[in-house]
Structure 1
Amino acid sequence: MQAHQIPIFKSWVPEWVARGILFLILLTSAIGFALYANNPESIQSFYGVEPNDVQFSIVLMYASIASFLALDFRTVKYFTTRRYLLTGLFINAVCYIICFYTKNWELFLLCRFILGISCALITSIVLNLIFPRIHSSRARVIAYTIFYSGLQMISPLCGIYTSSVLHYLDFNWLFFGLLILLVPVILIVYVSMNRGARIFKKFPLFDVDLTGYLLYTVICIMTGYVLVFGQQLNWFGNIKIRVLSMIIFLALALFVLREVKLKRPLVDLRLLQTRNVVLGLLILFVFYIFKSTSGFTYGYLEHVLGTDPLNIIPIWASSIAVTVLSMFVTSRFVLAGFSMIKTVITGFIILGLFYIYMLLFISDTGETNDFILPVCLFSIATGVIFVPAVIFTFSAAPPKIAFNTSIIGMFARFMGFCIAIAINNYLQLYSTAAINEKIRESVTETNPQLERALIGIEQTLVNNGGGINSGHISSAYLKNYIHTEVLSRSIRDYYDFMLVLLVTFIAILIAVPGINKVVLRLRKGSVPY
């Protein structure tokens, strides 16, 4: 029997156990990506870095995943499945050990890049184990739904995990916990999988476009760097941004020229000649810009309302449950033949309701429970938009080059994520500056209301046993109050901008002709991204 015909799992492993193992492998790999996204202050204090450095560490791993995914389409066909998978898991384990024992920021960034490669490697091989064996379009839609439900669960799961661990331990213990989770997974893979089995027939690694991969990696990493640090460095007023932008432009030009001429390109750019594929990629790109706004809600709860991270866990749990439910309900509509674009537009409208709710209820006072509803609205919107958008893009792709949709789709999501960070950094800076200026104009020593406010605060402190230091405490209290007011108003301004952007995009989707003609067409072997 040839290697690619040998069963991946040993004969004593039931099918449902095999699927559970694959989902567990996927979970342990993906959880490292969003590990500290909901608790950036913890890594800032542990490594002594700035918020933009933390953002770049997340972008760096994302860039590594997006770029290596293109190369992985060739390498996965060369190595045996168990060895390839164990290599990725072992790389994860080594990186977790390094991150646990070191406090060197540059070494941490290197580990993030390597973790991105191993994450792409593991995710690709697991998805190639699952989806090519699913034959009917109905089963593939359900499988897509399960996969993307798991993907959208990662962020709130990481929030629950990090909040629980960081309440008692330092930041580096997060990696120790991941290592403990990873060890049994490695043992399970080693014991349950056949040694010589392959997913595909062995394909030699000749004509592998390593130069294209290096160019693609440079484009992703440098683009991410420019978008993260651009505002801090004053964009093109800084020589570093100008030089990096020139390198990105040259690398992109060389990459496009190279891919067009090669017989076996890293990415087949002919896919971008299909209008509805481009529209689907645009939907994913814009969706990831809006998706990144959820972090503001959790930040508002923690920094403005003063909610303990452990008390946010019920909200994260609600988000997980609602996301899974909404995705499965949406998949039923897709299978019933409901227009995928109309479903996506409905999802964006629900997202608009989330923004409206936040604009109405954000203030410097409030209850945590008041924000369970908007988080659920956001989760519903995520479930309604994501699966139809991906299926729409795949269904619109020409059959012979449809597999490239995974590569370009990942890049679209990566760019949406980076653009969201750039918009966030820009709006937060200018919105905060404008609000501070308005407050500075009114909060002056000549304003009699300021003196009355300080006297009122001081008297309240004295009545509650504030003692002789009540004057200093009242000034500190007022400064803290102004800080939270500035933060809440800047978040409200951000949601206001995103709502305008959302309404504009919905109008564009409604105005585009012919997009409802795309029908469900998921082919055997189609792997999601």
Structure 2
Amino acid sequence: MESAYFKNWITGWHWGVRIALFFIMVSGLVQLGLFVLTQSYMVAYLGAQPEDIQFGVMSTYAGIITVLPLQFRFFKYFQTRSYLLASMMMAIVLNIACLYCQDINLFLIIRFAQGIITANVIVFGLLLVFTRLPSERAKTVAPAVFYGTLLSNAVLIGLLAGVVVESADWKVTYYYLVLFQLLLLVIILLMLKEKSVTRHYPLYQVDWAGVVIFACAALSLAYTTIYGSKYYWFADVRIRRGAIATVIGVVLFLYRQYMLKRPVIHLSIFKSRNFVAAVCLLAIYYGCKDSINLVYNYAGGVLKWSALQVMTLALWNIVGMVGVLVVVIRLMLVKKVTIKGLLIAGFALLGAFNCWMSFLLTPDLAFTDLLLPVFLQGVASGFLFVPIMIYVLSSTPAYAGMSGMLVAACTRFTATANSFAGFYNLQLYFNQYFKEGFLGYLTTDNQNMATRLTNYRELYASKGFTVEQASVLANAAVWQNLTQQSQLLTNRALFIGFAILSLVVALLMLVIPAIGKIWLHLNKQRMAMVLGDRILNMAGMIKTLTISEKR
């Protein structure tokens, strides 16, 4: 069968098309994975603060969700090949600009532009995946391909980039990325037809003002949440202005959506309880899923693993996720499992992972100690990610179009921003709490403290340090141990919190339907009793009237 988008020589070669589309989507998503891996080098190169790098990540997300609604209109207006070629060339230009940029403010602008280009590439790639699937499978398989690629790209790219970083300068990773994108230019030229759109849908009534308002609101929200802790929140005028800009932007955007004839997001979808429940589950999943970053930070910060070793550990997480994802999709296609059962199993496994990690953390662990829990977290993600997204999309009314997907993307953006701010503030609070608890025992009256200081002084003295230097180094070593133990206890507290949240969600999903059935049964019994009483009353009235007539 002839395709409207792919050339005849590759149309029948299904695996060739699949691999090419996978590479096209990866070329867009790699902008995120590569940047996250090299962020420590970017801090040193640009003289930036960690908050600046986090805001750089969120700027990319803001660019993605800003132009995401427009892509579905562009797909019906622009020629697919020309659009992808232009986007890929712009991506190359922006990567080269990132490579040589030395101003942090300009760098953040480039990151936002990269988000726009990333949305161009991945949405067109995803829509091309839709064209290759039967309509009954598209809603199940396409999200699995997209979100599976989204979750795994950081690790897969990180493994390759980790090898490069270990043996060469970090800038070399950008050279390889540009070469990869040049290769994709050739693939796009060879694979796609020059003209794919036979009927152009005009770009009238595009809400460009709404796009600008949304972009300002998203960037203001990211700025407020990420820099809030650094500037003591509303005590600083910059955070107050950012919060005010966020509120005004959100209100204006929602007002425009309410007034427009063809809104980007149909606000009526929030009247559906199933849709609201699905979005809440998605937000909870994103928050609990990010606890895996505590494991990676622990491996790199406490255990002093290299980036390549951390990515190797993360690979097992991806193996668990992809393996279960393939099985889950097949079972869903043949209707052997329900979304509810998958969600209960997924949240239960996510709670088990967090419980396991809360008891496992010590200052010295081997790779094999972390292998199984990290693999288990991947299995939980395989049970949760795509089923939740299918739940979101299936709960969206047909007239709302892509509103469900857009709300899900906004949920991801907000959850990520809250994750950056939440993890920072929670770790700040628990670190301070545990340090203050330890300080009560760090006195000369404490025998363990005195013994530990003596041992450290003797150790440093045996290495040739003077008595004064040995004493200073001993105190520093004790303080380092205190900081390490406080961080481990902080991570444990966070894992326990996420475990409780995940298990409570799984329990509620298991119990609430049963409670609903019992409540419905009791209501039916009550209605039956009320109806019976009324029938008896009517029978009594009829009997009374009959007796009266006879008299």
TM over 0.5: yes
Q: Which amino acid aligns with 2:190?
A: V
Residue 365 of structure 1 is matched in structure 2 by 364
Q: Is 1:486 equivalent to 2:486 in the alignment?
A: yes
CA distance in 1, matches of 2:247, 2:465: 64
Q: CA RMSD in A?
A: 2.4
**Alignment partner of 1:442: what SS?**
coil
Q: How far is 1:83 from its partner?
A: 1.1
Q: How far is 1:447 from its partner?
A: 4.5
2:236 to 212, 235, 238: 238
Residue 549 of structure 2 is matched in structure 1 by none
**Alignment partner of 1:103: what SS?**
coil
Residue 58 of structure 2 is matched in structure 1 by 59
Q: Trace 1:508-519 onto structure 2 (pairs within 5 A).
A: 508-510=508-510, 512-513=512-513
For residues 279-302 of structure 1, what are the alpha-carbon distances to aligned partners after superposition, in whole Å with 9 as ceiling and x for unaligned? 111111111111221111011011
Give yes or no for contact 2:456–2:474 (8 Å, CA) kept in 1.
yes
CA distance in 2, matches of 1:514, 1:472: 63
Q: Which amino acid aligns with 2:146?
A: F
1:95–1:39 distance in 2 versus 1, CA, 3 Å: closer
**Alignment partner of 1:201: what SS?**
coil
Residue 301 of structure 1 is matched in structure 2 by 299
Q: How far is 1:155 from its partner?
A: 2.4
1:182–1:70 distance in 2 versus 1, CA, 3 Å: same
2:5 to 5, 8, 14: 8
Give yes or no for contact 1:52–1:228 (8 Å, CA) kept in 2.
yes
1:438–1:53 distance in 2 versus 1, CA, 3 Å: same
Residue 201 of structure 1 is matched in structure 2 by 199
CA distance in 2, matches of 1:364, 1:19: 44
Q: Out of 507-516 and 386-395, give the one that drifted further.
A: 507-516
For residues 443-499 of structure 1, what are the alpha-carbon distances to aligned partners after superposition, in whole Å with 9 as ceiling and x for unaligned? 245645433212212334566x55656555444433332232222222112212222
Residue 283 of structure 1 is matched in structure 2 by 281
Identical counterparts, % of pairs = 26
Give yes or no for contact 1:236–1:242 (8 Å, CA) kept in 2.
yes
Give yes or no for contact 2:265–2:400 (8 Å, CA) kept in 1.
no
Give yes or no for contact 1:339–1:516 (8 Å, CA) kept in 2.
no
Q: Which amino acid aligns with 1:187?
A: V
CA distance in 2, matches of 1:326, 1:8: 32
Residue 208 of structure 2 is matched in structure 1 by 210
CA distance in 1, matches of 2:167, 2:470: 33
For residues 225-257 of structure 1, what are the alpha-carbon distances to aligned partners after superposition, in whole Å with 9 as ceiling and x for unaligned? 111122222222322222222222222222112
Larger C-alpha radius of gyration, 1 or 2?
2
Residue 380 of structure 2 is matched in structure 1 by 381
**Alignment partner of 1:155: what SS?**
helix
Q: How far is 1:87 from its partner?
A: 1.4
Structure 1: 5+ residue stretches without partners? 518-529
**Alignment partner of 2:7: what SS?**
coil
CA distance in 2, matches of 1:340, 1:288: 18
CA distance in 2, matches of 1:313, 1:281: 30
Q: Which amino acid aligns with 2:389?
A: V
Q: How far is 1:400 from its partner?
A: 2.2
Residue 394 of structure 1 is matched in structure 2 by 393
Q: Which amino acid aligns with 1:250?
A: I
Residue 250 of structure 1 is matched in structure 2 by 248
Residue 35 of structure 2 is matched in structure 1 by 36
CA distance in 2, matches of 1:130, 1:515: 41
Give the TM-score taking structure 2 as reference length: 0.87
Residue 271 of structure 1 is matched in structure 2 by 269
CA distance in 2, matches of 1:295, 1:449: 34
Give yes or no for contact 1:224–1:418 (8 Å, CA) kept in 2.
yes
Give yes or no for contact 1:34–1:155 (8 Å, CA) kept in 2.
yes
Structure 2: 5+ residue stretches without partners? 518-551
Residue 322 of structure 2 is matched in structure 1 by 324
Q: Trace 1:20-419 onto structure 2 (pairs within 5 A).
A: 20-38=19-37, 40-138=39-137, 140-198=139-197, 201-335=199-333, 336-419=335-418
Q: Which amino acid aligns with 1:208?
A: V
CA distance in 1, matches of 2:313, 2:70: 38
Q: How far is 1:515 from its partner?
A: 12
Q: Which amino acid aligns with 1:160?
A: L
For residues 105-130 of structure 1, what are the alpha-carbon distances to aligned partners after superposition, in whole Å with 9 as ceiling and x for unaligned? 11211111011001111111111111
Q: Out of 378-387 and 428-437, give the one that drifted further.
A: 428-437
**Alignment partner of 1:194: what SS?**
coil
**Alignment partner of 2:303: what SS?**
coil
CA distance in 1, matches of 2:82, 2:421: 40
Q: Which amino acid aligns with 1:325?
A: G
1:482–1:158 distance in 2 versus 1, CA, 3 Å: farther
Q: Out of 205-214 and 168-177, give the one that drifted further.
A: 168-177
Residue 524 of structure 1 is matched in structure 2 by none
CA distance in 1, matches of 2:320, 2:516: 27
CA distance in 2, matches of 1:250, 1:467: 61
1:231–1:506 distance in 2 versus 1, CA, 3 Å: farther
Give yes or no for contact 2:92–2:181 (8 Å, CA) kept in 1.
yes
1:510–1:52 distance in 2 versus 1, CA, 3 Å: farther
Q: How far is 1:276 from its partner?
A: 0.9
Give yes or no for contact 2:460–2:470 (8 Å, CA) kept in 1.
yes
Give yes or no for contact 1:283–1:389 (8 Å, CA) kept in 2.
yes
Q: Which amino acid aligns with 2:127?
A: N
CA distance in 1, matches of 2:477, 2:176: 38
**Alignment partner of 1:167: what SS?**
helix
**Alignment partner of 1:29: what SS?**
helix
CA distance in 2, matches of 1:401, 1:446: 70
Q: Out of 381-390 and 186-195, give the one that drifted further.
A: 186-195
Q: Is 1:477 equivalent to 2:474 in the alignment?
A: no
Q: How far is 1:410 from its partner?
A: 0.8
CA distance in 2, matches of 1:430, 1:513: 37
Q: Which amino acid aligns with 1:7?
A: A
Q: How far is 1:512 from its partner?
A: 4.7
CA distance in 2, matches of 1:152, 1:256: 30
CA distance in 2, matches of 1:466, 1:384: 57
Q: How far is 1:315 from its partner?
A: 1.4
Q: How far is 1:439 from its partner?
A: 2.7
CA distance in 2, matches of 1:341, 1:236: 42
CA distance in 1, matches of 2:214, 2:513: 33
Give yes or no for contact 1:145–1:327 (8 Å, CA) kept in 2.
yes
Q: How far is 1:399 from its partner?
A: 1.7
For residues 368-407 of structure 1, what are the alpha-carbon distances to aligned partners after superposition, in whole Å with 9 as ceiling and x for unaligned? 3200111101100111001111111222221222422121
Give yes or no for contact 2:71–2:123 (8 Å, CA) kept in 1.
yes
Give yes or no for contact 1:159–1:316 (8 Å, CA) kept in 2.
no
Give yes or no for contact 1:284–1:409 (8 Å, CA) kept in 2.
yes
Give yes or no for contact 2:264–2:403 (8 Å, CA) kept in 1.
no
1:398–1:140 distance in 2 versus 1, CA, 3 Å: closer
Q: How far is 1:9 from its partner?
A: 2.1
1:116–1:297 distance in 2 versus 1, CA, 3 Å: same
Q: How far is 1:141 from its partner?
A: 2.4
Q: Out of 466-475 and 114-123, give the one that drifted further.
A: 466-475
CA distance in 2, matches of 1:292, 1:34: 15
